[in-house]
Amino acid sequence: MKYIDGGVCAAQGFMAGGVACGIKKSGKLDLALVYSEVPAQAAAVFTTNRVKAAPVQLSMKHIKSGIAQAIIANSGNANACVGPQGDAAALAMCQAAAEYLKVPVESVLVASTGVIGVQLPVEKIEDTLKKTPGIVSRGGNLSAAQAIMTTDTFKKEAAVEIELAGSVVRIGGMAKGSGMIHPNMATMLGFVTTDAAIDQALLQQAVKRAADISFNRVTVDGDTSTNDSLFVLANGKAGNTKICAEGPEYDAFCAGLEAVCLELAKMLARDGEGATKLVEIRVEGANSEAAAVQVGKTIATSSLVKTAIFGEDANWGRILAAAGYSGVAIQPELVDIYLGDLLVCSGGTGLVFDEEKAKAILSKKEITIIVKLGQGNASAAVWTCDLTYDYVKINGSYRT
Amino acid sequence: MKYIDGGVCAAQGFMAGGVACGIKKSGKLDLALVYSEVPAQAAAVFTTNRVKAAPVQLSMKHIKSGIAQAIIANSGNANACVGPQGDAAALAMCQAAAEYLKVPVESVLVASTGVIGVQLPVEKIEDTLKKTPGIVSRGGNLSAAQAIMTTDTFKKEAAVEIELAGSVVRIGGMAKGSGMIHPNMATMLGFVTTDAAIDQALLQQAVKRAADISFNRVTVDGDTSTNDSLFVLANGKAGNTKICAEGPEYDAFCAGLEAVCLELAKMLARDGEGATKLVEIRVEGANSEAAAVQVGKTIATSSLVKTAIFGEDANWGRILAAAGYSGVAIQPELVDIYLGDLLVCSGGTGLVFDEEKAKAILSKKEITIIVKLGQGNASAAVWTCDLTYDYVKINGSYRT
C-alpha cells in the first residue's frame, strides 16, 4: 500500500470541485461537488442521532439503489431542524447537481454541515450552479475539500494505491470535522472515492467496518451530530476483476479503505475545535474489543483528561477515574497506565515518576496514552484532542 | 417546612468543626469533623465508579452496622489509587477521630477529596488532632463546611425544619463539589445530619431516593468521581415518635431530606469549576421519569450546549441534537424547546424568535431550559453549569 495525493480525485474517473455560493458570509468556498464519469457502486453510513438533518434523510433514500454518481455538499448551514422546507431544499440541491452534471437525480447524494435550525438559502446554490461552468475537474479535489470546511483549520484529504491481482486500484477521500464530533456510524462528513470494481453488498460491509475502526473511534467533544454521513463511491475504472466475494483481494481493498478512513479520522481529532494536540489512547488487555473501545472513548471524552493534556499536567488519576466509570468492569488493581513510554501508574497505584520527563512527553503535539487493563487479550485505539480556551471561545459564539 | 441556618449543626445533638492540618499547601482549613452526642442511625450512598478511593471502601464497611457517630473528612488529597498505604491512612483517620471524640472506631465514617494518586500525609491529621482541643462545637458547621472545600468558591450548607406529629425535627447538611461532578449514587461529598428518630432501613431508602433526585441529577463535567459519598446520620434527639413504617410522617421526613439534598445539589452546579451560570434543564412529556432524566443529563453534559450558554448564544439546535443522541427514542417532530419562557423550536423546527429577548434570558445568572418531548406525562429536572475559560484554566493545572 502506498499513500498518494489527490484526495477524492485520486481514483480514476472521478472529478470534483468547490465554489462559493454566498452561504458563508465570509465569501469562502461553501459548495462541493464530486462526480464519477460512470455510475458507481455506492455505500454509506449515517448518524445514529434520532434528529437527522434533511440531507441525511434524502441520502438514505437515494443510497437504497446501491448506485450513485455524484455528491453535492454545502458548508455554512446544516439544513437540520427546519421542517418541510429543509426536505425541499435537500431535494433542490440534488436536482441542481443532477442538471449540472447530467445524471439522474436519484444518483446524487447530498450532505450539509454548519449551523442547525436556520433555513438553507438553496436558491444561492441553484443560481451559482446555473452561472458557473467547469466546477468539477480532475484536480478539483483541493477546492472540494476546502468547500466542506466550517471551523476546520486545514483540509482533510487522504489517498492510497493498492494492487489487486495486477490491477492498480486507488482509494481516496476527504472529510470535515471540528466540533460536534463524536461519530456514531460516521463522521460529520466523509466522502471516499475508489476506482475499484466491487460488489455493492461487499462495499457496504467494508464501509461499515472501516467507519467502526476509524471515524467511530474519534471524539472531539462527545456530541454526536445530526448530519454525520460517510459516502463511498466505487466506479470500477481501475479495471480490476470485480471483487464479488471475501478473500485476499477483498481484504486488501478493506485495508486500503481503512487506511484512508483512519488518516481522515485522525485529522478530525487533530483539528478538533481549539485543539493543540492529537491524543491517541490505546487500551490493551481488555476482555473484548468492544470493552477496549468503551474504556478508550470514555477516557477520550473526559473533560478533565482533555484539560489536563492541554495544561501538560500528568494527572493520570483522571485517566484511571474515567476508566472506572466507563461501564466496563475493570479491576483497578490490575491497571497500568503509560504516558508515552513512561509508566506512571502500576496495579492501580501511582508511582513516583520523573515529572520533567512527563512534562516533556505531554508538551509534544502528538501524545500516546496506553492503558493496560490486565484482563484479556483484546485492544483498541481511539483518538481525541485536548480541551482548550479556544474550544470555549469558538463554541461560545458559533452562531454570531 | 421552613429553611433554617446551621448546616450539619442545625439538628440537635450534633457538633462539627474544621481545622487546618497542612494537607493544603495554602494553610487553609482541610479537615472536618462531624459528631453526634449519641450513636445515630446511619445510611449512605457511594460512587459507582469501579475505582473507589480507600475512604469509600472503609466507609462502606463501617456503614454496614447501620450505626455511626462521627464523620472525619479531609480535603486537598483524595486518598485514591495509592495502594495499601491508602487503606492504612483511611483507617488511621478513623482511629484518630475515634480517640479524639471517644467513640468506637467502627462508628466513624471517613471521606477524602482532592488530588488522586498522591499519598495522604495522614500523620499531619493525627498530629493536629492530638494537639488541638475543642475542634467540634455547636457552631462549628461553618468551619466544617469550609474544611471540605477544594476548588469550591463558596460553602455549601442547607437545613430545614419540619414538624412530625407535634415534634420539631431538623435536617441539615453540607457538601463540596466543583469538578469531577457527575454523581452516580452521590455527590463528591455530602454530609447530612438530622435529629429525627427513624428506622435505619427506612433511612437508607429515603437517602437513596433523595440522592437520586438531587445529587444524581447534577453534572459539571460528566466525570464521575472515585470519592463520591453521601452520609446521613439520624440521632433521634428531636424526640419524635420513631418513624418505623411508610406513611405521612415518613413522607414528611423524605420531603425535608430531599429539600436539603436538592439545595446542596444545586449549589454544586452553581459552583461548578469556572461556572458563571446555574442551568436548570426541565424535560417534560417523556414516556418515563428515567427517560426524562436521560435526555436532561445528556443535554446537561453536552460541551456544545454548555459553551453556548457561557457565550449567551441561543443555539437551541445543540439542545435538540443532544436530545437526539441521548439514547432515548425521541420523535424530533414532536419536540418543543423553550429558553426561559421563550419558545425557540416547535415540533422540531426552529422558529423566528426575538434574539434580543433570548440574549436577555441567557445573560441571567440562572437559566431554565424546557424541553417538551410530547410523548408522555413524565418529567424531571437536572442541573448543570456553563463551560468556561476558567474551567479549562483550573483543570489545565490542577496538580501544579
Q: At what angle do helices A54-62 and A84-101 cross, to 10 degrees?
A: 50
Count CB pairs under 8 A between chains A and B. Answer: 225
The pLDDT value given to residue B338: 97
C-alpha cell at A191: 466522502
The pLDDT value given to residue A178: 67
Per the listing, cell 413522607 goes with B251
- Of A187, A194, A298, A384, which residue is the catalytic one? A187
Mean pLDDT across the stretch B204-226?
80
Residue percentage of chain A with pLDDT more than 90: 64
User: pLDDT at residue B186 above 50?
Assistant: no
Mean pLDDT across the stretch A29-37?
96
Annotate A316-354 with DSSP letters as a single string.
HHHHHHHHHTSSS---GGG-EEEETTEEEEETTEE----
Q: Which of A303-307, A367-371, B288-292 has the lowest mean pLDDT?
A: A303-307
Q: In this structure, what are the phi and psi dihedrals at residue B215, rounded to the nearest 5 degrees?
A: -60, -35
The pLDDT value given to residue A179: 63
User: pLDDT at residue B400 above 70?
Assistant: no
Model confidence at A82, pLDDT cuts 50, 70, 90, reads confident
Distances B69 to A156, B66, B95, B109, B254 between C-alpha atoms, Å: 62, 10, 13, 8, 21
B362 touching A (Cβ < 8 Å): no
Compute how many other C-beta atoms are within 10 angstroms of the C-beta atom of residue B255. 15
Q: In A21-75, which ranges are E strands?
A: 31-46, 67-75
The pLDDT value given to residue B35: 95
Mean pLDDT of chain A: 90
User: pLDDT at residue A18 above 60?
Assistant: yes
> What CATH number matches the domain at B2-270, 3.40.50.261, 3.40.720.10, 3.60.70.12, 3.40.50.1100?
3.60.70.12
Contacts of B226 in chain A (CB under 8 A): 317, 320-321, 324
Pairing mode, strands A67-75 and A108-113: parallel
A2-270 shares its CATH topology with A278-396: no
> Rounded distance, CA B111 to CA B106, Å?
14
Residue percentage of chain B with pLDDT more than 70: 96
The answer to whether B313 contacts A396, with C-beta atoms less than 8 Å apart, is yes
Helices (H), chain A: 54-62, 84-101, 122-131, 141-147, 200-212, 248-270, 289-301, 303-310, 316-324, 355-362, 389-396
In chain A, residues 150-209 whose CB comes closer than 8 Å to chain B: 179-180, 182, 184
How far apart are the CA of A345 and the nearest CA of chain B, in angstroms? 8
- Domain A278-396 is classified in which CATH homologous superfamily? ArgJ beta chain, C-terminal domain (3.10.20.340)
B80 touching A (Cβ < 8 Å): yes
> Rounded distance, CA B121 to CA B128, Å?
12
> Rounded distance, CA B337 to CA B90, Å?
48
The pLDDT value given to residue A186: 41
Contacts of B54 in chain A (CB under 8 A): none
Domain boundaries, chain B: 2-270, 278-396
Query: Residue A176 belongs to what H/E stretch?
Result: strand A167-176
ipTM value, please give it: 0.76
User: pLDDT at residue A400 above 60?
Assistant: no
> Rounded distance, CA A95 to CA A70, Å?
11
pLDDT digits (tens, 9 = 90+) for A337-366: 999 999 999 999 989 899 899 999 999 999
The answer to whether A118 contacts B48, with C-beta atoms less than 8 Å apart, is no
- Of B47, B150, B151, B187, which residue is the catalytic one? B187
The pLDDT value given to residue B140: 96
Q: In what order do the strands lie in the sheet with A366-372?
A: A349-350, A342-346, A336-339, A366-372, A278-286, A378-385
Helices (H), B274-342: 289-301, 303-310, 316-324
The pLDDT value given to residue B110: 95
Contacts of B311 in chain A (CB under 8 A): 395-398, 400
Distance linking the first and last C-alpha atoms of chain A: 45
The answer to whether A116 contacts B302, with C-beta atoms less than 8 Å apart, is no
Question: Would residue A187 show up in a list of annotated catalytic residues for this protein?
Answer: yes
Cα B76–chain centre separation: 18
pLDDT digits (tens, 9 = 90+) for B313-363: 888 988 998 998 898 999 989 999 999 999 999 999 989 899 899 999 999
The answer to whether B304 contacts A118, with C-beta atoms less than 8 Å apart, is no
The pLDDT value given to residue A185: 40
> Rounded distance, CA B56 to CA B186, Å?
12
Q: Which of A61-75, A169-183, B105-119 has the lowest mean pLDDT?
A: A169-183
The answer to whether A317 contacts B396, with C-beta atoms less than 8 Å apart, is no
Mean pLDDT across the stretch A161-187?
77
Contacts of A325 in chain B (CB under 8 A): 48-51, 182, 184, 223-224
In chain B, residues 326-355 whose CB comes closer than 8 Å to chain A: 328-332, 345, 347-350
Q: Is there a contact between B157 and B41 (Cβ–Cβ < 8 Å)? A: no
> Rounded distance, CA B347 to CA B373, Å?
9
The answer to whether B332 contacts A301, with C-beta atoms less than 8 Å apart, is no
The answer to whether A396 contacts B80, with C-beta atoms less than 8 Å apart, is no
pLDDT digits (tens, 9 = 90+) for B227-267: 788 888 999 999 999 999 999 999 999 999 999 988 888 88
Among all residues of chain B, which has the CA nearest to that of A308? Answer: B396
Q: How many helices (H) and strands (E) does chain A have?
A: 11, 15
pLDDT digits (tens, 9 = 90+) for B40-79: 999 998 887 888 889 999 999 999 999 999 999 999 999 9
In chain B, residues 138-157 whose CB comes closer than 8 Å to chain A: none
Q: Is the Cα dihedral B323, B326, B331, B332 positive or negative?
A: positive
The answer to whether B399 contacts A315, with C-beta atoms less than 8 Å apart, is yes
Model confidence at B398, pLDDT cuts 50, 70, 90, reads low
User: pLDDT at residue A40 above 90?
Assistant: yes
